[in-house]
Amino acid sequence: MDNLTTIFSHDQTIAALKSLLSDQLKDQMIQGITVDTIIELVYMVLQNQFCVSNNKLYQQFKGGASGLPLTMLLAYINMFYGQHRDFVKSFVEKNELFGRYQDQALLTWHGSEDEFRTLFNTGIDTEHLMTMSVGSTVHFHDLEIGHNSKGVLESKVYYDRDIDTLPNVSDESIENLSKQLHAVLYRAVRCCSDLEKFRWERSLINVSFLLSGLPPGSIDYIIQNFYVEFGLPTRSFSCVLQDDEYRQLRRNIIQDVDQQAELKKQRDRQRHNTLFLPCPHFNDQETLATYKQRLKVWWKKHYGNEPQTKHIQIKWIESTSKNLTNSDILVNKRPPIRLLTLPKNEKQ
């Protein structure tokens, strides 16, 4: 669907968002914020979108700023919980698969194409420009998903035929090429659903890194270490993976992907609960320690019992730069000598 983020109705989207939150939130709150407050905040954002063109001020009364996370979220909420409630109901009943990342989405449908198009197009705003692709395969970022003759989903690495005939390898040092080889192997196992697809992907990987100057022995050594790192027993370089070994390798890789995602969430939560403050400069450590202690006491007194701030920890950022004088600050702000000596007509 083209122009999805720029043409959705604000009123329809607000109604869909309110319905979604009311249905999904038992206590009608998210982290202490009520549904009504969320609706008011979102509505305030939508109603205060302006742009300037040809010295004229325009207000955007449909859609939102393209590419913003809030805009994409509202576009999908309006699409699947506003205009397409019947479609979503049927989608859930059929236990279909739906995936979304930013402005790209994919879904499965076990039914006829005509049935899908009829159900999906019901209630669509006439201003929407719909383009739909239905087939046995679909790509989602670096993943190509399809199904075999038995209807079982399968996947492999996706390449754009115009620009990605081989795995991308940049012109880097041998050390960086080793890291890249590890990364593309990781992606290959993550994306390839069976050993046959992985073997084909590995042949492409070998060609790419040979053309980039990585010696064959180094390629084999890195691949062997990759297998061992993710739980396979040590084997000679000439050995080829078997089906059961690849299944074990892929399980370990997918488990690692999940662990990395969880670690990222933990780091994000930690950063969210950390208040970074610049550490002031004092001549002695005792004065600095007293200052830090007093600020912590002040913070605990005024914010320590608030639901949104009681878990926040203060982290001091040490300053490593020297104090600059005014002349130091301004020295690189002057126009270049060449510009200062140009004739007046050339400066313009």
Tell me the per-residue pLDDT of 48-63, one tens digit each, with 9 for 90 and over: 888 888 888 888 888 8
Q: What is the per-residue pLDDT for 124?
A: 58
Domain tally, the chain: 3
Same domain, 245 and 316: no
Angle at 281 between CA 277 and CA 284, to 5 degrees: 125
Q: What is the per-residue pLDDT for 323?
A: 59
Q: Sign of dihedral through CA atoms 227, 229, 235, 237?
A: positive
Q: What is the per-residue pLDDT for 126?
A: 44
Taking 50 as the pLDDT cut, the residues of the chain under it are 126-127, 236-237, 347
In a domain, 46, yes or no: yes
Same domain, 152 and 234: yes
Same domain, 265 and 292: no
In a domain, 128, yes or no: no
Q: What is the per-residue pLDDT for 189?
A: 95
10-24 and 69-78 helices, crossing angle to 10°: 80
Neighbouring C-alpha atoms within 13 Å toward the C-beta of 117: 8
- Quote the domain boundaries for residue 37: 4-97
Long-range CB contacts (within 8 A, 24+) of 139-142: 140/99, 140/101, 140/104, 140/106, 141/101, 141/104, 142/187, 142/191
Distance of alpha carbon 182 from alpha carbon 203, whole angstroms: 15
- Residues contacting residue 110 through CB under 8 Å, at least 6 positions apart: 94, 96
Q: Which amino acid does the sequence have at 320?
A: T
Q: Whole-model pTM?
A: 0.63
Distance of alpha carbon 289 from alpha carbon 84, whole angstroms: 60
Q: What is the per-residue pLDDT for 132?
A: 62
In a domain, 106, yes or no: no
Same domain, 208 and 297: no
In a domain, 112, yes or no: no
In a domain, 117, yes or no: no
Same domain, 263 and 176: yes
Same domain, 218 and 151: yes
Same domain, 184 and 206: yes
Q: What is the per-residue pLDDT for 54?
A: 84
Same domain, 187 and 174: yes
Same domain, 87 and 157: no
Q: What is the per-residue pLDDT for 344?
A: 54
